[in-house]
Structure 1
Amino acid sequence: MTFGATPPPGPQPPRRSRARRFLPLGIAAWMVLEVWLLIVVAGATNGLTVFLLLLGGVIAGAYVIKRAGRRAWRKLTETLQAGGDPAASSKDPAAAGGDNTLPMLAGLLLMVPGLVTDVLGLLCLFPPVGKLLHRRAEKLLARRSSGTPGTLGDAFQQARMHRPDGKVVQGEVIHHDDDPPAPRQDPPLTG
């Protein structure tokens, strides 16, 4: 046994992305901001007003989600009755008669208790902001998906075994069961 010897360098663990590192901090800051705003509004008015604001947000969010869901269901049934392929119409939301993602997101944001989320939900319902968000999301998804094919076969192909020396070896495990398992022998009960 030698003292002071350094162990051989092993593979480094993957680094956490910046978003994963700061997401918990962002959520905590958002929660503090929501609580602070509710306290400020309660101090300026009263607790009943804050309760009615939160209740109104939940009711408005449920209405928006219900309306968007009905619209999506109606488009699906129209597509199926016309003999079309719902998978083909979902690839082009504009051709299918609109996209329900932003109204659903808006309803969800309205239902989450808080004033900031209510404002964000109302902004998602505002058509110019909705178009802007839709374009930005399309650009982001197009940029992200340009390098990854994303099929199920590719996911299995990317599953690899790592050896201790850092080399990547693709393969599969084959179990040869030549001998059947021995029957289980329980000890006799005494007593």
Structure 2
Amino acid sequence: MMSGISSPTAPKRSRARTFLPLAVAAWAVLEIWLLTLVARAAGGFTVFALLAGGVVLGAVVIKRAGRRAFNNLRDGVRAAQAGPGGAPAAPGRSGGSGNAMTMLGGLLLMVPGLLSDVAGLLCLVPGVRERIAKLLGRAFQRRLATAAPGGFGSAYQQARIHYPDGKVVQGEVVREDAPAGPGAAGPFEPPRPPLTP
């Protein structure tokens, strides 16, 4: 039997999955190298202060973004309860993608390393934040459009039931005819005879 030949129906391994471990390893080596350069130039205490400052700043950023997201959610619920004539959302508040990018920036600040700190700070700059959110959104949409039929891209389509008259019904199946206990007959199993000595 030949082990070197793969079956024609096997999915091909994507480039991202092939090169991602190598990219993460290169990123880690580069971060360590930059930290050692800073430690030689400014001392170990400076490196420790930079890393601790990044963790504290990242925690503050994530806390503020989470509080803003909660306030937006609370305002949305209040507006929905007020009805169609309710108060409109306050202008100038950043939406979901702004909060998501702010939280990503805070998370990158908390990751130890200088490159991750720079990337986190870039995610906090308003103009750059919107551009990154648009690029990530387009990449995600392209990924969904090219996903395999059984993959994540068609999961939403699989969860919908289409009727011939054009109606779409969303929901879940609840089996009420499940067996009552151990040894109980299921819906497709014939009843079992009792055990006799």
Task: Give the Cα–Cα distance (whole angstroms) in 1 for the partners of residues 92 and 115 of structure 2.
Answer: 33
Tell me the SS of whatever aligns to 2:32: helix
Q: Identify if the C-alpha distance between structure 1 residues 49 and 26 changes in structure 2 by more than 3 Å, giving closer, same or farther.
A: same
1:31 aligns with 2:28: yes
Match of 2:172 in 1: none
Q: Identify if the C-alpha distance between structure 1 residues 6 and 130 changes in structure 2 by more than 3 Å, giving closer, same or farther.
A: closer
Unaligned runs of 5+ in 1: 86-93, 158-173, 186-191
Q: Which gives a bigger RCO, structure 1 or 2 (Cα 8 Å, sep 6+)?
A: 1
1:103 aligns with 2:102: yes
How far residue 12 of structure 1 moved from its aligned partner, in angstroms, is 4.5
Deviation track 1:106-139 (CA, whole Å, cap 9, x = no partner) reads 0000000000000000011112211211221222
> What is the TM-score when the length of structure 1 is the normalising length?
0.69
Q: Identify if the C-alpha distance between structure 1 residues 136 and 52 changes in structure 2 by more than 3 Å, giving closer, same or farther.
A: same
Aligned-partner residue type, residue 177 of structure 1: E
Describe how 1:11-160 pairs up with structure 2 within 5 A: 12-83=9-80, 97-98=94-95, 99-146=98-145, 148-151=153-156, 154=158
Task: Give the Cα–Cα distance (whole angstroms) in 1 for the partners of residues 106 and 191 of structure 2.
Answer: 60
Tell me the SS of whatever aligns to 1:15: coil
Task: Give the Cα–Cα distance (whole angstroms) in 2 for the partners of residues 21 and 175 of structure 1.
Answer: 46
How far residue 144 of structure 1 moved from its aligned partner, in angstroms, is 3.1
Tell me the SS of whatever aligns to 1:82: helix
How far residue 143 of structure 1 moved from its aligned partner, in angstroms, is 2.7
How far residue 97 of structure 1 moved from its aligned partner, in angstroms, is 4.3
Unaligned runs of 5+ in 2: 83-90, 147-152, 162-185
> What is the TM-score when the length of structure 2 is the normalising length?
0.67
How far residue 176 of structure 1 moved from its aligned partner, in angstroms, is 3.8
Task: Give the Cα–Cα distance (whole angstroms) in 1 for the partners of residues 131 and 195 of structure 2.
Answer: 67
Task: Give the Cα–Cα distance (whole angstroms) in 1 for the partners of residues 81 and 15 of structure 2.
Answer: 43
Aligned-partner residue type, residue 70 of structure 2: W
How far residue 21 of structure 1 moved from its aligned partner, in angstroms, is 0.6
Aligned residues: 155
Deviation track 1:31-54 (CA, whole Å, cap 9, x = no partner) reads 000111111100111111100000
Task: Give the Cα–Cα distance (whole angstroms) in 2 for the partners of residues 184 and 125 of structure 1.
Answer: 74
Task: Give the Cα–Cα distance (whole angstroms) in 2 for the partners of residues 102 and 127 of structure 1.
Answer: 10
Task: Give the Cα–Cα distance (whole angstroms) in 2 for the partners of residues 180 and 100 of structure 1.
Answer: 58
Tell me the SS of whatever aligns to 2:20: helix
Match of 2:190 in 1: 178
Q: What value does the CA root-mean-square deviation take over the aligned residues? A: 3.3
